[in-house]
A = this chain, B = another copy of it.
Amino acid sequence: MNTPEHMTAVVQRYVAALNAGDLDGIVALFADDATVEDPVGSEPRSGTAAIREFYANSLKLPLAVELTQEVRAVANEAAFAFTVSFEYQGRKTVVAPIDHFRFNGAGKVVSMRALFGEKNIHAGA
């Protein structure tokens, strides 16, 4: 069983690594056999190589990522609300997902799912 403290720390490291554009730091949080479904409803990426490729793509633009509420963590799962802000062709965009992490016995993220729809994509200030 993972502690809430461990899972919360992993979420915070994930956010910090996204902000820093630290691809190795992100990938290190995931189990070798992890899956990433981002957004929910898309084809899940499976395994380290596919996950690295996904985040390498995500980090092509600088991202400003911020937790907007307390992390929820219990059993082997965590959920967290956050915003991802970026600028593309002069337009600011803020996406507001809720992510769900499931952890394995080694404390690594074995499943990540990002839940957001069109209504959760906002024009930035």
Contact = CB atoms under 8 A, between A and B. Distances in A.
Interface centre among A71, A72, A77 (most CB of B within 10 A): A72
A119 B7 CA distance: 12
Contact of A117 (B40, B72, B96, B100): B72
Interface string A66-97: 00111111111111110000000000000011
A98 interface: yes
Give the number of copies in the complex. Answer: 2
B70 A69 contact: no
Contact of A69 (B78, B81, B117): B81
Contacts of A118: 4
A107 interface: no
A26 B75 CA distance: 26
A115 interface: yes
A96 B72 contact: yes
Contacts of A75: 40-41
A64 B116 CA distance: 26
Contact of A120 (B72, B100, B119): B72
Interface of A: 4, 8, 39-41, 68-81, 96-98, 100, 115-120
